[in-house]
């Protein structure tokens, strides 16, 4: 059964199509969304969104946080930043991971340390998911 999905970042509309399912990296855990899903508003953590279109190959997008508005007939993911996974290189992610580790070494505030550690974990997960 087809389901409408939109992935929007401040820069552009990345996806607006009929899909079979979408896997979203929610802050409470990864979730698969399909037609007739119960209404939910979920926060999205940095990670990989996997879209299974009605026809054609699976599509992957890297998102850096946001919100997903899920209804029985449509899902809209409003991302803080997003781009197709094909546009993200593992080398760029590796460089950003090293930069974040260097930042982490200089942090003195516990709250800032926790935020950077969380971001570092998200970057590492994205690095592992990008092939």
Q: Is residue 31 located within the same domain as residue 81?
A: yes
Residues spanned by the domain of 50: 3-85
Asked if 4 and 73 count as a contact pair (C-beta separation under 8 A), the reply is yes
Q: Is residue 108 located within the same domain as residue 81?
A: no
Within 8 A by CB and 6+ apart from 35, the residues are 1, 2, 3, 72, 73
- Number of structural domains found in the chain: 2
Q: Is residue 108 located within the same domain as residue 46?
A: no
Inter-helix orientation angle 110-129/90-106, to 10°: 160
* Half-sphere exposure in the Cβ direction for 57 (13 Å, CA): 2
Residue 62 sits in a domain whose CATH number is 2.60.15.10
Q: Is residue 81 located within the same domain as residue 120?
A: no
What average pLDDT does the chain have?
A: 91
Q: Is residue 81 located within the same domain as residue 121?
A: no
Q: Is residue 81 located within the same domain as residue 40?
A: yes
pLDDT of residue 126 exceeding 90: no
Task: Give the pLDDT score at 8.
Answer: 97
Q: For residue 131, name the pLDDT band (cuts at 50, 70, 90).
A: low
Each residue of 53-99: pLDDT tens digit?
Answer: 998 999 999 998 999 999 999 999 999 999 999 888 888 888 888 99
Q: Is residue 74 located within the same domain as residue 44?
A: yes
């Amino acid at each position: 059964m087809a389901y409408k999905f939109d992935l929007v970042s401040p820069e552009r509309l990345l996806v607006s199509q009929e899909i079979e399912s979408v896997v979203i990296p929610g802050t409470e855990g990864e979730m698969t969304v399909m037609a007739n899903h119960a209404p939910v508003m979920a926060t999205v953590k940095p990670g990989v969104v996997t879209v299974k279109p009605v026809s054609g190959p699976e599509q992957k997008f890297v998102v850096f946080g946001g919100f997903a508005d899920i209804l029985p007939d449509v899902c809209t993911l409003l991302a803080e930043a997003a781009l197709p996974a094909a546009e993200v290189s593992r080398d760029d992610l590796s460089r950003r991971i090293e930069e974040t580790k260097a930042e982490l070494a200089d942090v003195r505030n516990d709250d800032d340390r926790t935020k950077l550690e969380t971001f570092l974990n998200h970057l590492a997960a994205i690095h592992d998911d990008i092939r």
